[in-house]
């Protein structure tokens, strides 16, 4: 049996707002509901299941592999919203895009401080 990643739970202070924030920025379909979760479906069959936490959620990192066209569209939505973004995960190079591994990448924060990333080439190159 091949092992595949299926889903993970994202702790947040407002599951509906956090799920909607991500779908709007990434250009995904509307979140659905499953039990106590607001579910964001990704193209490869995986989901991010947003759950309200009690207190401030522990900051996590979520990275998304996107096409060059999707990168441009996502970057434009980030800029249109006036969100701060960085070329690096440590938030040292504000307003810049990296060109690591022959692609492009950038980082921004969601409403709960989760460090989100888009890349056009997987780490280590194509």
CA distance 31 to 49: 9
25 in Cβ contact with 19 (< 8 Å): no
CA distance 63 to 50: 16
48 - beta bridge partners? 8, 40
Kindly report, residue by residue over 49-95, the tens digit of the pLDDT.
999 987 789 999 999 999 999 999 999 999 999 999 999 999 999 99
CA distance 63 to 120: 11
Q: Give the global pTM.
A: 0.94
In 3D space, the residue among 93, 92, 91 whose CA is nearest the CA of residue 113 turns out to be 91
Token digits of residue 31 = 């979140």
Kindly report, residue by residue over 85-121, the tens digit of the pLDDT.
999 999 999 999 999 999 999 999 999 999 999 999 9
**Residues 6+ positions from 20 with CB-CB distance below 8 Å:** 30, 31, 38
Q: Whole-number mean pLDDT of the chain?
A: 95
**Residues 6+ positions from 55 with CB-CB distance below 8 Å:** none
- pLDDT of the residue at 53: 85
Kindly report, residue by residue over 42-51, the tens digit of the pLDDT.
999 999 999 9
pLDDT tier for residue 126 given thresholds of 50, 70 and 90: low
The 7-12 sheet, strands edge to edge: 7-12, 47-52, 37-41, 32-34
Q: Is the confidence at residue 28, as pLDDT, over 70?
A: yes
């Amino acid at each position: 049996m091949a092992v595949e990643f299926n889903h993970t739970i994202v702790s947040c202070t407002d599951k509906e707002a956090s799920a909607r924030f991500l779908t709007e920025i990434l250009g995904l379909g509307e979140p659905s509901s499953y039990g106590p979760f607001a579910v964001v479906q990704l193209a490869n069959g995986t989901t991010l299941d947003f759950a309200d936490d009690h207190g401030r959620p522990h900051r996590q990192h979520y990275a998304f592999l996107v096409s060059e066209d999707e990168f441009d569209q996502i970057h434009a939505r980030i800029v249109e919203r006036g969100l701060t973004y960085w070329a690096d995960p440590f938030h040292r190079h504000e307003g810049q895009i990296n060109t690591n591994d022959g692609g492009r990448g950038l980082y921004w924060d969601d409403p709960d401080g989760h460090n989100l990333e888009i890349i056009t080439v997987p780490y280590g190159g194509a």
